[in-house]
Amino acid sequence: MTRVPALRWSVTPDETAAENEASLADDPAVRQAIAESVRGDVRAVVTAHPASPLAWAELADSADSSGHVVEAFAFATVAADLAREQLAAAGWQPGSPVPWSDEPNRAYLRALDAQRRAAEALGLRDRAAGAARELADADAEAPARIASEYTPTQVISIVDLEASAGRGTEAPATIGDPIAAPEAAGAAGED
């Protein structure tokens, strides 16, 4: 079932008309499918819901978290394009607000940020700057909210400390680059 996005007219505190705010339609079926999927299996959600900006935005974040920059850029571009089409169908004009406070809009805003990050990583400076401008125009607070709420998964090094200290097996078990053990403070009161 295709859901139609909404276009709302806001009123400022002095009761004058504010700019129109667009909103993507909420799709609980997609949200539920994403919640029930394993992070790496978001492709199945996209296959079942190919017109969903949220599904594509999740796929872009998953690719970004896995270090697949090209895929992240492509998936984020599809998510942003689908969101723009759906917003435009409701009367939205590029540059008009798309508030973070309306949860369905987060798919579009997250897609723009994922596209910006991937474009930067690929050296596409103009595309990165364009995505950053579009994101700021849509909701100036969105970049900070995305940074605090949607941080890509970090890969950390794991070191078998007993093995590296000579008390366990001969070769330390590591994933990634080993981390040096912290040095003990030389004198009382040193940090």
Domains held by the chain: number: 2
Q: Are residues 18 and 68 in the same domain?
A: yes
Could you read off the pLDDT of 115-132 as tens digits, one per residue?
999 999 999 999 999 999
Question: Is 182 domain-assigned?
Answer: yes
Task: With cut-offs at 50, 70 and 90, classify the pLDDT of residue 38.
Answer: confident
| Same-domain pairing of 41 and 135 | yes
Examine the pLDDT at 167 and tell me if it is beyond 90: no
- Specify whether 96 is located in the same domain as 181: no
Whole-number Å distance between alpha carbons of 70 and 72? 5
3-state SS track over 66-113: CCCHHHHHHHHHHHHHHHHHHHHHCCCCCCCCCCCCCHHHHHHHHHHH
pLDDT (tens digit per residue) in 52-99: 999 999 999 999 999 999 999 999 999 999 999 999 998 999 999 999
- pLDDT per residue over 22-32, tens digit each? 799 999 999 99
- Res. 46 pLDDT band, cuts 50 70 90: very high
Rounded alpha-carbon distances, angstroms, from residue 123 to 20, 66, 129, 135:
34, 19, 11, 19
Q: What backbone phi and psi angles, to 5 degrees, belong to 186? A: -75, -25
* Nearest one of 54, 27, 148, 43 to 109, comparing CA atoms: 54
User: Residue 21 — pLDDT band, cuts 50, 70, 90?
Assistant: confident
Same domain for 75 and 46: yes
| Structural domain includes residue 1 | no
Asked whether the beta carbons of 116 and 79 are under 8 A apart, the reply is no
**CATH code: domain of residue 77:** 1.25.40.10
Same domain, 126 and 181: no
Q: Do both 74 and 118 map to the same domain?
A: yes
Q: Is 25 helix (H, G, I), strand (E, B) or coil?
A: coil
Task: Determine whether 49 is exposed, middle or buried from the number of CB atoms within 10 Å of its CB (0-12, 13-18, 19+).
Answer: middle
Asked whether residue 71 falls in the same domain as residue 125, the answer is: yes
Kindly state whether residues 127 and 188 are assigned to the same domain.
no
For residues 83 and 163, state if they share a domain: no
What domain range is 96 assigned to? Answer: 6-149
